Each structure stands twice: as C-alpha cells, then as structure tokens.
Amino acid sequence: MDNNFIDDREIDTEKVLANMTEEERQREFDRLYGEYIKTESLKVRYIADHETVALDRNKIYEVISIENGWYRIKTELDEDYLFPPEAFKVVD
C-alpha cells in the first residue's frame, strides 16, 4: 500500500477533531462545505421582479446565515432556503 494514501476507514474522526484547534476545525468545515456566516440581525427586502410561492415581493425577511455568498432565509412556507443576494436589498 502506498504510504502517501490514507484510507478514510483508518481515520478516527473524533480523535482528529479533538486534536484540532477551533480555528483549524472552522477552516476544515469551510473547505468541505464552503463559507458559512451566521448573522446577528441582518434584514433584507425581497426586490426581485416576480413573486414566488416562498417569498412576497417587498416583504422584509431576516437572514439566518450567509452561505457561499447566498442568503439563507425562512420563507412563507415556513422552511429555510438559500437565495441569491441580488434578489434582496439590505434594510438593517
């Protein structure tokens, strides 16, 4: 077996994570899942030219998080989804 190859089944993930700093864990998370930013209280107005079942035009929504540049918003369907920021104007 090539010594430069690590078989994922041989790795004890919990031990690896336990030996990482918080910063190293966050970097690994970002590498695997992309950028994730939890927002404190970002509010945006839906300004796209069309209404959807999930969003009402001109209504203000709270951004739950920003993931890879997109806004995660709880919709009228009471579920959260990612939306492109171009469809919104920041109001808060």
pLDDT, tens digit, 9 for 90 and up, residues 66-75? 888 899 999 9
Domain range list for the chain: 10-90
Q: Could you tell me the pLDDT band of residue 92, with boundaries at 50, 70 and 90?
A: low
Tokens of 24: 């190293």
57 membership: H or E segment, kind and range: none
Q: Which residues contact 28 (CB under 8 A, 6 or more apart)?
A: 20
Give yes or no for residue 2 having a pLDDT over 70: no
Q: Residue 42 to residues 7, 22, 64, 92: CA-CA distances in angstroms?
A: 42, 25, 8, 6
pLDDT of residue 82: 92
Separation CA 83–CA 23 (nearest Å) = 28
Across residues 76-80, what is the average pLDDT?
A: 92
Q: Which amino acid is at 8?
A: D
pLDDT, tens digit, 9 for 90 and up, residues 8-65? 555 566 666 677 787 777 776 666 666 666 667 799 999 998 878 899 999 999 998 8
The fold adopted by the segment(s) 10-90 is SH3 type barrels. (2.30.30)
